[in-house]
Chains A and B, each alone.
Chain A
């Protein structure tokens, strides 16, 4: 079974540009999580969905960040406009029921 798939794996963009990160969870998993990891702040939960419904978005830093899950096999995290402080590794993770979370390979974002 393929793991969590994220794209792109690397993204370099200029300040002010829109960035869209994509995630395909493991088939059959009904919960999806978006995390951000930096050296300063560690691994932070941004938002999570259960059965495609956003449950907790308290970790979303500000209105520039938005996330959607239009169906069970796809989610996006969008940053508009992007800023240099958004540079980080963004991970998507999924799980089924009360089982543990499985992480994708991450997207390394650099905003210049």
Chain B
């Protein structure tokens, strides 16, 4: 079992719809969770992080965390073609010594079509 799992996609949604990206992780002691966006040929850029169970909203983005189910998701409201990218889920495992060692999932490719 991979430490961080994501559906590779592509996830195709129409412009204006809600895109839902999901991620599961195996280390129950994981402390913090991150979503990075990576455009083709570019480097990953952080869009959201979440530490506590529940929802965290930032503009059109909402991160959701359920530690009991070891599940984290990212919702993108009013999806735009510019949101088309690969979204990487990253987890800070329990035994990382506080240095924010991140384990990345393989990423989900999102395609927003007009």
Contact = CB atoms under 8 A, between A and B. Distances in A.
Interface of A: 31, 33, 42-45, 48, 50, 55-56, 91, 95, 98-106
A110 to B, nearest CB: 14
Interface bracket on B = 10 to 19
Contact of B43 (A44, A45, A55, A103): A103
Interface of B: 34, 42-46, 49, 88, 97-107
B99 A50 contact: yes
Contact of A95 (B88, B97, B100): B100
B105 A98 contact: no
- Per DSSP, chain A at the interface is strand
A99 B100 CA distance: 8
Contacts of A31: 99-100
Contacts of B43: 91, 103-106
B104 A43 contact: yes
A56 B101 contact: yes
Nearest to A97: B100
A72 to B, nearest CB: 16
B40 to A, nearest CB: 11
Nearest to B45: A103
Given A43-B88, A50-B99, A55-B99, A100 B34 contact: yes
